[in-house]
Amino acid sequence: MIALNQVGYSISAKKKAVLTKGSRFQVLQVMKEGEKIVLEKESVRFGRDEASQDEVSIADFSELQAEGIYYLKDDAGETSYHFRIGADIYRPLQKDLLKAFYYQRCGCALEAEYAGEYTHACCHRDRALLWENHDISKEVNGGWHDAGDFGRYISPAAVAVAHLLYAFLLFPESFQEEINIPESGNGVPDVLNECRYELEWMLKMQDEEGGAYHKLTSAMHADFMMPEEDKSQFYLFPVSSMATADYAAAMALASRVYAAYDKAFADRMMNAAYKAWSWLEKHPEYIGFHNPENCNTGEYDDVCDKDERLWAAAEMFVTTGEEKYQKVLKELYKENLGKTDFGWTDVSGLASMAILTDGKKQAEESLIKGFRDIVLKEADRLVHLSEECGYMVAMEPEDYVWGSNMVVLNRGMLLVLVCTLVEEKAAYEDAALSQLHYLLGTNAVGYSYVTGYGENAYKNPHNRPTACDGIDLPMPGWVSGGPSGIPYDETAIANIPQGTPPMKCYLDHVACYSLNEITIYWNSPAVFVTAYFNR
């Protein structure tokens, strides 16, 4: 195999492919008149890559800087997929990664004008019942379907929105293009239009005391069907401290971002954030969430809410400038939290994001320095991991968990964040870009993990509309969960032999929910990382 980024490389970027058999390689340019060899070189032996157990060599063709379509051939007779070298190489990708959120909209029809062939009728508009008291119902329409299922969950929502809002805050120049959604052209960047669809729903997900319902789902996952065919009763599940802290954080952040566009909306969100915060003050203990009996929808359970509270304190402080939040932040800062992760389980990295971006002006020097040292240290570790890996991705064998592409992309986010903090950023930038290269094909299975992007893009996401709409190809722009060293679903367990190296534990199969599902919070970090490279 010859693995490389199947979308391609920008003109001046470093360009490296991974050979598993050959050593000498040629780069061929594909033109109307035919093909021609434009480069012939020796690769550099790397040795055994741990996560894939492949013996690999690295083919460096960075000197190639002419726009065009190319592929590689090696002396073992292997050929690569085609790729492009060109300007703005990841722009269409970023657009579709963001447009994907529109396809998750719940409670409305997807019209052909915006959805093309991927239309569907209005879904999930019935009132939801409180799980704990079926006599009480609420109107909680809207939001994005979380994933391949139709559930809507607060923590994943908060995290996905935060990734998108920070991408916009840091790299606004990458969000100038419209993405053809109903609100396009209203004078507000489409990334904010799309996030607002989620935020308006989130505003409905708060109870009278300020707590956020952990989730809104049916009792059991629907069978495979189009969203509008799912007539099951939806329930509001109990408030958790994890969801409420994430909620406070996301609302405070969003309020800060939208203030310049719609003051009334920003105020509504800030009020929701204050209410959630007072709920947190009243409930200092951890209130987790476990699926009750007779419920099998997503659990998003956690064991600790200190990271969520840390993030909430950070966003509340940055948005209001009030000392009382910084005080809480400083207390929680002392806890043993990573402060470098951006996933739904550990959101403590989002506190770093807040303090090291908008928070730089208000926060105490020592706090800024503390957060900065932590993210720099982690970035150095990631650069090192990336150098230790034959496929140049900053991942260790045990990092291939359910949704490993989220780990890949969250690490890309951390590296990108560090690029915005330091002068000497070349190593961090290379490593961040390597995460994207891995996602788009520089990996041991040779797939691009984004639908529609790459000659060998995966095609069978575990996503109900994709599986049921009768259209061959899925909509473009969906990140797959990716390989998992321990597969959980039946199809994966039956088809992946025990002992398969973790980077190779992947199947492009619609039934593989533990390897090939899509979620909003696997796309959102991809938007963040591509937005950096599209500046």
- Per-residue string for binding with ligand 9MR, 92-131, x by CB under 6 A? ----------------------------------------
Binding residue (CB under 6 A) for ligand 9MR from 143, 210, 403, 454:
403
The span from the CA of 410 to the CA of 342, in Å, is: 6
The span from the CA of 367 to the CA of 326, in Å, is: 10
Buried residues in 147-175 as b, exposed as e (16+ CB within 10 A): bbbbbbbbbbbbbbbbbbbbbbebbeebb
Q: Which is nearer to ligand 9MR, 345 or 362 (CB)?
A: 345
Which residue stretch of 141-149, 165-173, 360-368, 370-378 sits at the interface with ligand 9MR (rule: CB under 6 A)?
141-149
- The yes or no reply on residue 298 touching ligand 9MR (CB under 6 A) is yes
The span from the CA of 465 to the CA of 461, in Å, is: 10
Q: Which is nearer to ligand 9MR, 393 or 518 (CB)?
A: 518
Sequence letter at residue 475: M
Burial of 424 (0-12, 13-18, 19+ CB in 10 A): exposed
Q: What DSSP line would sit under 514-526, residue for residue?
A: TTSB-BHHHHHHH
**298 contact, one of Zn ion, ligand 9MR, none, CB 5-8 Å limit per kind:** ligand 9MR
Binding residue (CB under 5 A) for Zn ion from 142, 189, 227, 454:
227
Catalytic residue among 96, 149, 307, 341: 149
96 is an active site residue: no
Residue 263 CB coordination number (10 Å): 11
Nearest-approach distance from CB 338 to ligand 9MR, in angstroms: 16
Are 501 and 444 spatial neighbours (Cβ–Cβ below 8 Å)?
A: yes
Buried residues in 367-377 as b, exposed as e (16+ CB within 10 A): bbebbbebbbe
149 is an active site residue: yes
Binding residue (CB under 6 A) for ligand 9MR from 513, 528, 532, 533:
513
455: helix, coil or strand?
Answer: coil
The span from the CA of 304 to the CA of 423, in Å, is: 36
Phi-psi region of 88 (alpha: psi -120 to 50; beta: other; left: phi over 0): left
Binding residue (CB under 5 A) for Zn ion from 3, 17, 106, 202:
106
Binding residue (CB under 6 A) for ligand 9MR from 517, 520, 525, 532:
517
Binding residue (CB under 6 A) for ligand 9MR from 49, 54, 146, 198:
146
- Per-residue string for binding with ligand 9MR, 457-496, x by CB under 6 A? ----------------------------------------
The span from the CA of 346 to the CA of 362, in Å, is: 24
- The yes or no reply on residue 123 touching Zn ion (CB under 5 A) is yes
- The yes or no reply on residue 181 touching ligand 9MR (CB under 6 A) is no
Nearest-approach distance from CB 414 to ligand 9MR, in angstroms: 18
User: How far is it between the farthest Cα atoms of the chain?
Assistant: 73
Nearest-approach distance from CB 527 to ligand 9MR, in angstroms: 17
**146 contact, one of Zn ion, ligand 9MR, none, CB 5-8 Å limit per kind:** ligand 9MR
- Per-residue string for binding with ligand 9MR, 15-44, x by CB under 6 A? ------------------------------
- With the C-alpha atoms ordered 438, 443, 448, 449, is the resulting torsion angle positive or negative? negative
Q: Which is nearer to ligand 9MR, 289 or 532 (CB)?
A: 289
Q: What DSSP line would sit under 274-338, residue for residue?
A: HHHHHHHHH--S-----PPTT--S-----S--HHHHHHHHHHHHHHH--HHHHHHHHHHHTSS--
Per-residue tokens: 424: 């000497």
Nearest-CB residue for ligand 9MR: 298
Catalytic residue among 74, 190, 358, 517: 517
Q: Which is nearer to ligand 9MR, 46 or 458 (CB)?
A: 458
Which residues are designated catalytic?
Answer: 149, 462, 508, 517
Q: Please report, as ranges, the residues that interact with ligand 9MR according to CB under 6 A.
A: 146-147, 149, 151, 298-299, 402-403, 513, 517, 519
